């Protein structure tokens, strides 16, 4: 299982995560986010990171041109789309994929993971175009990093085929921290998890002790 720490703004936090075994570092290029980082700041961090760590750019309803410009400036090697279905529709994703030749993570905001999601027409179309699907907790007031957990129901297990899909392609985000990560992993067995607020001492401020504690917990 892969682990991404998202919303990195400082090199010391990035290196702490890397040296404690993280698989991917996320940079948020959405200006309204408390975790926003500029292209130039991200570039300076990325060039100091060792090999074999993915550098993920998180975009919220930004244009094709803006995304491509940030890719070229920073050197990110993975794109995460985190916006509305109207902006990041099938046509947009197809055009982006044809231009960047990089892995794409497509974020879908939901309250709970259930079989119904996998029958949705848009979901079926989008998942065939991207490398991974990220499930994040739906919150009408915020886009990601809310600290709220996706609901899961032990009494309503998912279809076996959907569980297999989750293990191969789904990244789970939303309120993950040291107190619930093992339960989430054991229940869903996802391809990956994405943590942000769970390793922060305050909103938008990562803490190296929390990063180290969280990542060491996953090795046990």
The answer to whether 76 touches 57, Cβ cutoff 8 Å, is yes
Residue showing tokens 């769970």: 198
The answer to whether 149 touches 177, Cβ cutoff 8 Å, is no
CA distance 48 to 206: 18
**Residue 136 in tokens:** 């994040």
Residue 8 CA, chain-centre distance (Å), reads: 12
CA distance 215 to 3: 8
Q: Is there a catalytic annotation at residue 16? A: no
Catalytic residue, candidates 6, 23, 69, 77: 6
Catalytic residue, candidates 16, 136, 139, 194: 136
CA distance 8 to 45: 9
Number of Cβ within a 10 Å radius of residue 139 = 16
Contacts (Cβ under 8 Å, ≥6 apart) of 157: 163
Query: Which residues are annotated as catalytic?
Result: 6, 136
């Amino acid at each position: 299982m892969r682990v991404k720490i998202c919303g990195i703004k400082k090199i010391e936090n990035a290196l702490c995560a890397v040296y404690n075994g993280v698989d991917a570092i996320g940079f948020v290029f959405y200006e309204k986010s408390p975790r926003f980082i500029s292209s130039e700041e991200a570039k300076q961090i990325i060039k100091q990171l060792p090999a074999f760590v993915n550098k993920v750019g998180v975009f919220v309803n930004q244009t094709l041109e803006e995304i491509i410009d940030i890719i070229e400036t920073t050197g990110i090697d993975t794109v995460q789309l985190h916006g509305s279905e109207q902006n990041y529709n099938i046509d947009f994703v197809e055009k982006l994929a044809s231009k960047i030749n990089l892995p794409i993570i497509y974020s879908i905001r939901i309250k709970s993971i259930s079989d119904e999601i996998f029958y949705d027409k848009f979901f079926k179309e989008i998942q065939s175009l991207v490398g991974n699907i990220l499930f994040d907790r739906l919150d009408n007031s915020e886009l990601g990093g809310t600290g709220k957990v996706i609901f899961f129901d032990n009494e309503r297990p998912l279809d076996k085929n959907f569980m297999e899909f989750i293990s191969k392609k789904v990244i789970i985000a939303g309120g993950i921290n040291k107190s619930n990560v093992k339960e989430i992993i054991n229940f869903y067995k996802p391809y990956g998890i994405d943590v942000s607020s769970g390793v922060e001492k305050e909103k938008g401020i990562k803490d190296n002790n929390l990063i180290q504690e969280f990542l060491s917990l996953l090795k046990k």
